[in-house]
Structure 1
Amino acid sequence: MNYTTLSDVVSCLSDYDPDAVPVAQAQHIIREYIAPINAVEKVAVRAALGRVLAADVISPINVPAHDNSAMDGYALRGSELAGGQTALRIVGTALAGQAYRGEVGNGECVRIMTGAVMPAGCDTVVPQEFTQQASDTSVTIPADVVKTGDNRRLKGEDLRAGHPALGKGKILRPADIGLLASLGIAEVPVQRRLRVAFFSTGDELRSIGEPLDEGCVYDSNRYTIYGMLTRLGCELIDMGVVKDDPASLEAAFRSACENADAVITSGGVSVGEADYTRQMMARLGDVAFWRIGMRPGRPMAFGRISSGARSAYLFGLPGNPVAVMVTFYFFARDALMHMMGANAEPLPLMRVKSQSAIRKKPGRTEYQRGILSRDAEGNQQVRITGSQGSGILRSMSEANCMVVLHHEQGSVSAGDPVDVLLFEGLV
């Protein structure tokens, strides 16, 4: 169910407090408020990698189209093997793409290759390595090497004509592209790519190539967000660095609304910051400002902003580099995938042993950068990268996983199991 306003969503929550929002509650609110876009296009199969299927794909054919051999060997009737060791006469050969069309009588078999259509009346294949005394005209099958029906692929065993081959909402991977090709399908309906506008706010930020004045820093967040959105297959609108003044911010937000499905900003969402970002977000739409019970990434804005007849979902992320990545992956990512129409499962967590003690108080969720490795016995273990300051982007580059310490969890002792989110394939 999708609600009209954020107030509708939070009215169903008895313990909602915007200044103390647990991670799970924030994720729930976002999930309830977000709605998928409804725009479909057809693309060639080779252009469909990473796209989201907009409708079920129904198999037009049986795969395989005929019963066929799973092995190189000899096709025969399974009943021929009832009497123990059996000598059979070879009456022909079946190749992949060249079926044997003749009769196979009692005491006879057909030399067959992997993928070849099973000859009429044959239901079993004996692999060639199980045979004895094979020649061009005869072969001996030892007792009890196979059972009736072995090494035969049945017609429609992989896919049956008229049945779903791939489901709506599936993100197409290389195996899916091959599957579509195996069905002879040239084009598939997919969701339109999600358009996401993003920019950084702050007078202290400089773009690459600009000189650094005293007290200024290069804007890394936009490049991080660019990489994360690219991994999701979004259509990107990079709006650069927006100065911290009302006119510039309003122009940026309105342009983003008018051209994108979602807007992601970094910086300007903390209480007391000397900028106008929060004011502009609130003025242009239905936006909640949260202090989330998490580390890093406590301040965050979420909602929907409008300009004229157009609107877009808004994710106002913190300004610290690590906090940007954490809030993106644990809040924005799932929401964007839902907007794409993707059937996205929650990010999978592994359970591994912590190499050292980790201090933590119950009552907030912590995401600590970790390095997953194996001990001398080959068992997986994880250690944190060191200082966990939210401005230390180098630690994210060094890490290969995130240690997830849940809301209710306390301190961890060395050797305790912890949940870990792998970065491979994600970041």
Structure 2
Amino acid sequence: MAGHPMLSLEEAQAKLLSLVEPLPIERVDIEGALGRYLAEPMLARRTQPAADVSAMDGYAVTAEDLTGPWHVVGESAAGHPYDSTVAPGQAVRISTGALMPAGAEAVILQEDLSREQHRISLTGEAPIPAHKHIRHRGMDFPEGKEVLPLGVRIGSSQAALAMAAGHKHLPVRRIPHLTVIDSGDELTSDPECCEPHQIPASNGAMLAAMARNLPVKVDRIGPVEDRLEALVKAFQTAADSDVIVTSGGASVGEHDLVRPALEAWGAKLDFWRVAIKPGKPILVARKAKGPRSQLVIGLPGNPVSSHITAYHFLLPVLRALLGAARPTPMSMLALLTSPLPATGDRREFLRGVWDGENVTPQVVQDSGALASLAISNVLIDRPARAPVAGAGDPVRVYLLQNGGIA
């Protein structure tokens, strides 16, 4: 398929993601759901707040008596409500979050009052409208309301909302099992013992680390030598995985054995060329695994190419398996601090440093240069056949931290 037309990034992502079916649903406790995605919309099982409560510290009074003076007849504290009815001329000391007593429809702030024993007088302003400092029943959400949509990622605020909405367990997708295979005779697993003709097997560690930004079980195999039998054995070892990702050997050269090894293993191949730079060659294969298909993604061996293609293809596949509503990363605008040259026929992703507003491209952009990748926090997105961009021009950037997840 070497002569197959190159796909755009979005076409290739869509084609790959069309092969992905979210994993089965399981119900886990809130802590176990962190970092995962809701497999069903979340409906509130209770009303929040369940009754009218005070939003401030002060005194609860009737709406028909906002000028006082008042006689203090009791207190309503959080968890300890006042159990009688408030009449005009009466006030109940109330704390933030405490239930409004029966008959009380206004809260006078404590800083707007003076108190002498059981008598309080207005020294500041009365609330306008009267209910200004009250959180009414159902203000946050009523019982039965959808509070989180399908496919949203569960973080700290979502976990808090789930508990407030009455949930102890949440429906999420089973955690994917990923196997990372490094292949190449030039690779060594020991970076402290590396001959000139060797390079440390850093891609496997990099890809595993990228995947672990998600709730994914990751196994590593390799380095695997450049022999067909060795690669077939590696695929057999990873037969229980949901996804296998390889680094290196996925092109069509004489020593690129991933494709023939997959064929010998019994996988169905679909080789893509994607019109991006770096990272054009991507190999995709599927093998039946019970009612599902096991997915294999072959990435380029150059470390930056491997990282960029994993960012745009491997991580979205893992998010899709987890049931993410939007598995692909999001971009945003930043302003260039220095000019960039015109681009060729492929879309380019350049390493850069973003300071919150401006982005500075790295000087070294070679696909084998890990140092400039490691000190970058964004990828600068340059469309194919784009003209020269000047300092101050807006460009789209992708955040590298956490795989571009918002």
Q: Same fold (TM over 0.5)?
A: yes
Distance in structure 1 (CA, Å) of the matches to 2:291 and 2:135: 57
Are residues 1:426 and 2:382 paired? no
Tell whether the 8 Å contact from 2:320 to 2:327 is kept in structure 1 after alignment: no
Spell out the pairing of 1:343-358 with structure 2 (5 A cutoff): 343-344=325-326, 346-358=328-340
Aligned to 2:120: 139
CA distance in 2, matches of 1:241, 1:36: 30
Name the structure 2 match of 1:45: 30
Partner of 1:385: 362
Equivalent residue runs for 1:148-227 within 5 Å? 148-208=130-190, 211-227=193-209
Q: 2:255 aligns with which of 271, 274, 277?
A: 274
RMSD between aligned residues: 2.4
- Residue 12 of structure 1 aligns with which residue? none
How many residues are aligned here?
401
Could you say which residue in structure 2 is the equivalent of 1:60? 45
Deviation at 1:79, TM superposition (A): 3.1
Match of 1:80 among 55, 58, 65: 65
Q: Residue 358 of structure 2 aligns to a residue in which SS?
A: strand
Sequence identity percentage: 31
| In structure 1, C-alpha distance between the alignment counterparts of 2:282 and 2:289, rounded to whole Å | 22
Equivalent position of 1:262 in the other structure: 243
The equivalences for 1:28-39 within 5 A come to 28-37=14-23, 39=24
- Pair 174,148 (structure 1): closer, same or farther in 2 beyond 3 Å: same
Change (3 A) 1:308 1:213: farther
The answer to whether residue 342 in structure 2 is matched with residue 360 in structure 1 is yes
Q: Is the 8 Å Cα contact of residues 106 and 132 (structure 2) preserved in structure 1?
A: yes
Tell me by how many angstroms 1:364 deviates.
Answer: 1.9
- Note the C-alpha offset of 1:337: 0.8
Q: Residues 253-300 of structure 1, C-alpha deviation per residue, up to 9 Å, x if partnerless?
A: 2332x2111111001122224132122234533322222211111111
**Alpha-carbon deviation of 1:413?**
1.1
CA contact (8 A) 2:108 2:126 kept: no
Distance 1:308 1:101, change over 3 A: closer
Could you say which residue in structure 2 is the equivalent of 1:313?
Answer: 295
Structure 1 residues 101 and 40, CA gap change in structure 2 (3 angstroms) = same
The residue identity in structure 2 corresponding to 1:28 is A
Partner of 1:112: 94
1:96 aligns with 2:73: no
Partner of 1:13: none
Aligned residue in 2 for 1:10:
none
Shift of 1:199: 0.5
| TM-score (normalizing by structure 1) | 0.87
Going from structure 1 to structure 2, the CA distance change for 1:271 and 1:41 (only over 3 Å counts) comes to same
Amino acid across the alignment from 2:4? P
Matched, 1:329 2:314: no
SS of equivalent residue, structure 2 residue 269 = strand
